[in-house]
């Protein structure tokens, strides 16, 4: 009985340790949209990740774990604090302080310049979760790292968000926003998650 118990425990332990842990080394992320007066862009200044990556014969083969947390308070507009406050209000910052993405499945395909990553996952914005599909390009970088780059266009109303307005309603923003991102992940020296 003890042998069976330890065999099962060993299997479960190994099953949870999938891939090699990676940590976020640097990133660039923007949220861009339109309005009836001008286009606008906000910079995402804080991102936290939890990632595990599989390699086989020196090639990127799987992304078994990838989670992202974005503090809403770290989304800063190029148009100033008035736009920041409108954005934070629309995203219900006080009640839902984080935007989250949790990967469900990723398919890795080699390309001439790196890899294509076709992924599905759960995106949670303003307390509402939607399953989404993403496509990103990945390429190997120094020190065993990977850089991922891509963009995702979403409608705010799909997450129950009213597009922000300003100037007593004379400025109205469009429903669609595009999130553009570049992440560089490097092998982690610890298995402790940075995404909490």
Q: Where are the domains of the chain?
A: 2-187
User: How many Å apart are CA 58 and CA 189, to the nearest integer?
Assistant: 19
For residue 133, give both structure tokens: 């599909």
For residue 33, give both structure tokens: 């949209």
The CATH number that domain 2-187 falls under is 2.40.128.110
Most confident of 1-5, 77-81, 142-146: 142-146
Band (pLDDT 50/70/90 cuts) for residue 169 is low
Q: List the beta strands (DSSP E) in the chain.
A: 20-35, 40-44, 48-56, 59-71, 75-77, 98-110, 115-125, 128-141, 145-155, 165-166, 171-187
- The mean-pLDDT minimum among 4-13, 36-45, 119-128, 134-143 falls in 4-13
User: How many Å apart are CA 45 and CA 108, to the nearest integer?
Assistant: 28
- pLDDT the model gives residue 78: 80
What are the tens digits of pLDDT across the range 87-100? 899 999 999 999 99
User: How many Å apart are CA 102 and CA 49, to the nearest integer?
Assistant: 10
- pLDDT the model gives residue 3: 47
- The pTM of this model reads 0.84
Average pLDDT over residues 44-51: 97
For residue 172, give both structure tokens: 């109205």
- pLDDT the model gives residue 196: 60
């Amino acid at each position: 009985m003890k042998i069976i118990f330890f065999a099962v425990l060993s299997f479960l332990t190994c099953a949870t340790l999938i891939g090699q842990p990676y940590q976020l080394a640097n990133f660039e992320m923007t949220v861009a949209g339109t309005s009836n007066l001008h286009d606008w862009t906000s910079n995402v200044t804080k991102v936290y990740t939890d990632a595990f990556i599989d390699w086989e014969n020196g090639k990127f083969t799987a992304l078994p774990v990838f989670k992202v947390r974005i503090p809403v308070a770290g989304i800063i507009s190029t148009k100033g604090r008035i736009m920041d406050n409108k954005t934070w209000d629309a995203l219900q910052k006080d009640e839902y302080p984080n935007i989250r993405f949790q990967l469900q499945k990723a398919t890795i395909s080699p390309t001439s310049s790196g890899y294509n990553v076709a992924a599905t996952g759960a995106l949670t914005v303003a307390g509402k979760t939607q399953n989404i599909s993403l496509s990103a390009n990945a390429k190997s970088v120094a020190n065993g790292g990977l850089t991922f780059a891509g963009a995702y266009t979403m409608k705010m109303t799909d997450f129950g968000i009213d597009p922000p307005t300003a100037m007593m309603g004379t400025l109205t923003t469009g429903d669609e926003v595009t999130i553009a991102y570049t992440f560089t992940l490097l092998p982690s020296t610890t298995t402790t998650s940075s995404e909490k």
